[in-house]
Amino acid sequence: MVGMFTAPITAEAVKEKARALGADLVGIADGATLDAHPWDPADPRGPKDITEVDSGRVIVMSKRLSAGVSRIVSWSDRHKYYNDELTLTLLEETSLELVYWLEDQGYPAIAVPPTHVDPWRYQGDPRQHMTPLLSLPHAAVEAGLGTLGLNLQLITPEYGPRVMLAAVLASIPVECDRRMEQALCRGPKCGRCLKACPADAVRHWERDWPACDEYRSPHGFAKLTDHVERIIAAEGAEQKKTLIRSEASFYLWQSILRGAGAITGCRRCADVCPVGADYEAMLADALDAIPEDTPAKAERLSGMVAREAGGETGGRTAQERWIGKR
């Protein structure tokens, strides 16, 4: 039925529109390929789990994060959270505008934000790491935007990992982009993401996601429930009042108001990554030194290099399709 009203469409026209609406990078992936190669093979999910009928193509868009806040070394600076939240808002508007434009051409479309987790899996534990139906970093690789790094962050040739991602699903009859075959990540010999991580969550081509969540959502749902529980458990009205008026309440209120510090947070691993045309030009002078580095981290990285020389791959084999070839 919808087919009767469709206008001719090309991949270039879709990308041109996305760029005109504000995206910096755009690529198109095949929905069936993403379904056939689930980002988590142990728990396969993909575009068809969002919609079976309108997920033929996954248009992945990215917007670069502000270099000005990347240059702030503290992972917990609220200007970083706030600027990143604005970037996300802008990209969400771009996605919605693209949805309406595609629908004007006769193709039903759906916006998928990077924060889209699978709520039916929630087990009542606020610290449980929630995963998405469609991992946008993996979709971005399939759409030819970049490859995954040591901690599975997306790295692009233009902006390294310093991008926000969003996707639009639509069954449009257009050509897809090709995956990059060669890895952009320099591996444990570089290891700057591991050296800078305040949670020490970077593993050997893996990430300790629950540890990372504490920092990438520092005033999010887990912090809110902890704080409310502390207030309930406090003895007496005075103690409760002090907690209600505390700095923790203030940060939670600000995060609920804007999302800053709840859906945005730490991104030190992205800031210090030397890949990306922007790094030398905009960031190196402020970010080359890594104050979070320790001898223990250096030793762990040397161990990874040695193990790789001996043929071990850590988590690389399971994710090689998206990490790319050495």
**Shortest CB 290 distance to ligand SF4, Å:** 10
x-marked contacts with ligand SF4 along 160-179 as a string, rule CB under 6 A = --------------------
Paired residues of 156 in beta bridges: 160
Tell me if 26 contacts ligand SF4 by CB under 6 A: no
User: Is 215 one of the binding residues for ligand SF4 (CB under 6 A)?
Assistant: yes
Could you tell me if 94 and 23 are in contact, meaning their C-beta atoms sit under 8 angstroms apart? Answer: yes
Task: Provide the residue type at 37 as one letter.
Answer: H
In angstroms, give the least distance from the CB of 190 to ligand SF4: 3
Where do the H-state alpha helices sit in the chain? 11-20, 31-36, 67-70, 78-104, 136-142, 192-196, 209-216, 221-233, 236-244, 247-258, 268-271, 277-278, 284-287, 295-309, 316-323
> From the list 17, 45, 63, 192, which residue makes contact with ligand SF4 (rule: CB under 6 A)?
192
Q: What span, in angstroms and rounded, lies between the C-alpha atoms of 98 and 66?
A: 23
Site string for ligand SF4, 249-268 (x = CB under 6 A): -----------------xxx
Cβ 209 to ligand SF4 shortest distance, Å: 8
The Cα–Cα gap between 299 and 271 comes to 22
Give the nearer residue to ligand SF4 in terms of CB position, either 60 or 202. 202
Window contacting ligand SF4 (CB under 6 A); options: 22-30, 39-47, 66-74, 185-193: 185-193
Asked whether 185 and 275 are in contact (CB, 8 A), the reply is yes
Report the amino acid identity of residue 304.
M
Using CB under 6 A as the binding rule, whether residue 301 contacts ligand SF4 is answered as no
Q: Out of 59, 136, 212, 263, which residue is the one contacting ligand SF4 (CB under 6 A)?
A: 212
Indicate the pairing of strand 147-148 with strand 25-30: unpaired
Q: Distance between CA atoms of 22 and 286, rounded to whole angstroms?
A: 27
The 120-149 site mask, x for binding ligand SF4 (CB under 6 A), equals -----------------------------x
269 binds ligand SF4 (CB under 6 A): yes
CA 251 to chain centre: 23
Q: Which of 59, 102, 112, 199 binds ligand SF4 (CB under 6 A)?
A: 199
Pick from 216, 227, 297, 316 the residue near ligand SF4 by CB under 6 A.
Answer: 216
Q: Which is nearer to ligand SF4, 18 or 212 (CB)?
A: 212
CA distance 292 to 184: 24
Amino acid 173 reads P
Q: Judged by CB under 6 A, does residue 65 bind ligand SF4?
A: no
Structure tokens at 241: 């009042």
Binding site for ligand SF4 (CB under 6 A): 149-151, 155, 185-187, 190-193, 196-199, 201-202, 207, 212, 215-216, 266-269, 273, 275
